[in-house]
Amino acid sequence: MSPIQKRDFMKILVCISNVPDTTTKVTFTDNNTKFNTAGVQFIINPYDELALTRALEITEKQGGSVTAITVGLTDTEPSIRKALAIGAQDAVRINAEPTDAYFVAEQIAAYAKTENYDLILTGRESIDHNGGLVCGLLGEMLGIPSVNVITSIEVENGSATMERDIDGGKEKLTCKLPLVASAQKELTEPRIPNMRGIMAARTKPLKVVEPAASSATSATVAFELPAAKGGVKLIAAEQAEQLIEILHNEIKVI
């Protein structure tokens, strides 16, 4: 057996959000002020799952540890346990309702401040609130660089080389660690937990931390569902060219 070469030991924190499954039909209760969780399956935010998997790939290659962190109440524990089953060594749950991105970032920053992570990964955005803000907020709060929507990351000699999506293209950049980055789709393929992982997850440490003092900067006051479409107007396939006529002359979108 050859000895494992620990070239660049990485201490990584991965931020996990607990979100409704993508197939969820969204409805609201309490006079449209609360998301209706009845019958809804919750999952790890898909982008966070990519961040977690990439973190594991990095530490498996060069040594290190991966901690999963979430801000949420006890109902989020299945998702954080799943993160452990996928392979995180330990997990932290900050025991608070995640009211907005600012609050979540403040909580994670308060925890991360004393832990000296080399790398913090988040998802590009959560698929429920679609803020896409935690990465940048965390970067500023911790005084470290933030790199949004990365599609690749390699770490070597205390520095990361990344590719990220920019408007209308891609950018390759390098940046010294520590840094925070947010995972975009191409980063890797999500890893499915195996039975051994699921068994191990039961006994892995899950620390519950009470929230730090924080500023409530915003509040969601109401939700609304989009208005239903008026009904489709069908055009016969034989007269498909009529579509262009309608789009150009009648509704003037082309």
Partner 1 sequence: MSVLVFAESTEGTFKKSTFEAVSYAAELAKNNSVACVALSIGIADDSKCADLAKYGADKVISIKGDKLNQFVAEAYAKLISNAATQENATIVVISNTYSGKSVASRVAAKLKAAIASGVISMPDTTAGFKVRRGVYSGKAFADVDLKTPVKVLAITPNTFNITEYNKALQVVHAEGGLNDTDFISTPVEVSRVTGKIPLTEAEVVVSGGRGLKGPENWHLIEDLAETLGAATACSKPVSDMHWRPHSEHVGQTGITIKPNLYIAIGISGAIQHLAGVSSSKVIVAINKDPEAPFFKAADYGIVGDAFEVLPKITAAAKKMKAQAI
Selected binder of partner 1 within 4, 26, 192, 208 (CB under 8 A): 26
Selected binder of partner 1 within 139, 153, 155, 183 (CB under 8 A): 139
Shortest distance, position 85 Cβ to partner 1, whole Å: 21
Shortest distance, position 223 Cβ to partner 1, whole Å: 5
Selected binder of partner 1 within 2, 23, 74, 116 (CB under 8 A): 23
- The CA-to-CA distance between both ends of the chain, in Å, stands at 66
Residues of span 100-129 touching partner 1 by CB under 8 A: 100-102, 105, 127-129
Residues of span 180-209 touching partner 1 by CB under 8 A: 184-186
DSSP string, 93-133: EE-S---SHHHHHHHHHHHHTTT--SEEEEES--TTT----
Residues of span 153-172 touching partner 1 by CB under 8 A: 161, 164-172
- By beta-carbon proximity to partner 1, the closer residue of 195 and 222 is 222
If one counts every other C-beta atom within 10 angstroms of the C-beta of residue 141, the result is 18
Q: Which H or E run includes 52?
A: helix 46-62
- By beta-carbon proximity to partner 1, the closer residue of 88 and 141 is 141
Binding status of residue 20 toward partner 1 by CB under 8 A:
yes
Give residues with Cβ within 8 angstroms of 14, minimum separation 6.
48, 51, 52, 55, 66, 67, 68, 69, 83, 88, 120, 121, 122
Give residues with Cβ within 8 angstroms of 71, minimum separation 6.
93, 94, 96, 98, 103, 104, 107, 108, 211
Shortest distance, position 21 Cβ to partner 1, whole Å: 10
Specify the stretch interacting with partner 1 by CB under 8 A; choose among 65-73, 78-86, 133-141, 197-205: 133-141
